[in-house]
Amino acid sequence: MSPSRPRSLRRPPPLPEPRGPLSAAVLSLLRGSAPADSPSPDRCSAYGDDLQLALYVLYELHYEGFQDVPDDLEWDSALLAHRSAIERRFLGALREDVPVDATDTAVRALDELQIEPVDGSGSVSHFLRDRGSLGQLRDYAALRSLYHLKEADPHAWVIPRLRGRAKAGMVAVEFDEFGAGRAEEIHAELFADLMADLDLDTAYGHYVDAAPAAMLATVNLMSLFGLHRALRGALVGHFATVEVTSSPASRRLAEAMRRAGAGPAAVRFYTEHVEADAVHEQVVRHDVVDGLLEDEPGLEGDVVFGIRATTHLEDRFGAGLLEAWRTGATALRTPAPVP
């Protein structure tokens, strides 16, 4: 933790506001009351606010939880039944939108990630580097905080489901993500320092109500893959996607922070990822992915699915950001206070 950022007592976040009947039903259960209505997830948009918030809230029971919500609800059977139905809807939509066939390979899918448009069109990191305002950088950081304040945690679920070279490689990368033994170097702490530099609230989960469904979906995807052993190949694909794309994007975001005068901690978070993730990419490709498929070749389609599902949701999220920013609007549902 940066010496300039005071340490605060860790408290779970408050429950967010509902965004429809499905999320209202889940929140009612967490508050200990029977919901007035509990609609089928099949009647909800798979990528919409209501379903994605309901799923996000249910997944958070496995992380920090919520204020005034008993910890033992993490394994409540009624809540798990709701979660299972919502997951089926979400996963079904993803499988329909990103089909994988027998000719697809993990090597080809990873190589495709390194192809970028020459003009940077459609890229959030290119936009922010070239013309992003400080306000837009604050939007981006506030939304990404839903993941970065627990960075690498969702991926840790897969460690006991791997073995040999894949497990060793995964743990090596996660060790770096968790600060290599130094608490102040944990990447989640570095991101909190970035947020402090941008005059954002560093409390875990603070910006949930401000996050559009597309952002919630990118975070939910990690938990969906991580919490299911059957999706371990998809989680490895997700992890590989993050590491392969992180280094060049982080370089551009560091340049964006410098240009906007965001402060040294904001710049440092991304410069830290430029070198580290370039190394991580090789470990993930040759040890984690290759090691997994050497042990379990039948998971290649799942790895490809994880890569493409991640790209699909990140593209949807990025398109929403750029649409808002190009019209001069904020990307947040509830704007962050201007410092």
Residue 84 near residue 40 (C-beta atoms within 8 A): no
Structure tokens belonging to residue 11: 């408290």
How confident is the model at residue 273, as a pLDDT?
86
How confident is the model at residue 2, as a pLDDT?
55
Whether 174 is in a domain gets the answer yes
Convert the pLDDT of each residue in 286-315 to its tens digit: 999 999 999 999 999 999 999 999 999 999
Same domain for 186 and 38: no
Same domain for 76 and 186: no
How confident is the model at residue 338, as a pLDDT?
65
Same domain for 245 and 117: yes
Convert the pLDDT of each residue in 17-72 to its tens digit: 999 999 999 999 999 887 767 789 999 999 999 999 999 999 999 999 999 999 99
**pLDDT < 70 regions, the chain:** 1-9, 36, 117-120, 277, 336-339
Nearest to 200 by CA among 319, 317, 332: 332
How confident is the model at residue 335, as a pLDDT?
77
The percent of residues in the chain predicted with pLDDT above 70, rounded, is 94
Same domain for 147 and 92: no
Asked which of 38, 68, 97 is the last residue of a domain, the reply is 97
Same domain for 87 and 120: no
Phi-psi category of residue 156: left, alpha or beta, with phi > 0 → left and psi -120 to 50 → alpha: alpha
Query: What are the backbone angles phi and psi of residue 41, rounded to the nearest 5°?
Result: -60, -25
* 15-43 per-residue burial string, b: 16 or more CB within 10 A, e: under 16: bbebbbbbbbbbbbbbeeeebeebeebee
Whether 11 is in a domain gets the answer no
Same domain for 112 and 26: no
Domain coverage including residue 172: 106-326
Same domain for 283 and 154: yes
Same domain for 169 and 62: no
Same domain for 231 and 126: yes
Structure tokens belonging to residue 263: 């402060």
Please report, for the chain, how many H helices and E strands are present, in that order: 14, 0
CATH number at residue 212: 1.20.910.10
Note the pTM of the prediction, 2 decimals.
0.94
Residue 241 near residue 307 (C-beta atoms within 8 A): yes
Asked which of 97, 122, 153 is the last residue of a domain, the reply is 97
Whether 200 is in a domain gets the answer yes
How confident is the model at residue 264, as a pLDDT?
95
Whether 309 is in a domain gets the answer yes
Asked which of 97, 128, 158 is the last residue of a domain, the reply is 97
Same domain for 159 and 293: yes
DSSP string over 82-126: HHHHHHHHHHHHHHHHS---TT--HHHHHHHHT---TT-TT-HHH
Same domain for 256 and 130: yes
Same domain for 174 and 155: yes
What percent helix, strand, coil does the chain show, rounded to 5? Answer: 65, 0, 35
Q: How many distinct structural domains can be found in the chain? A: 2
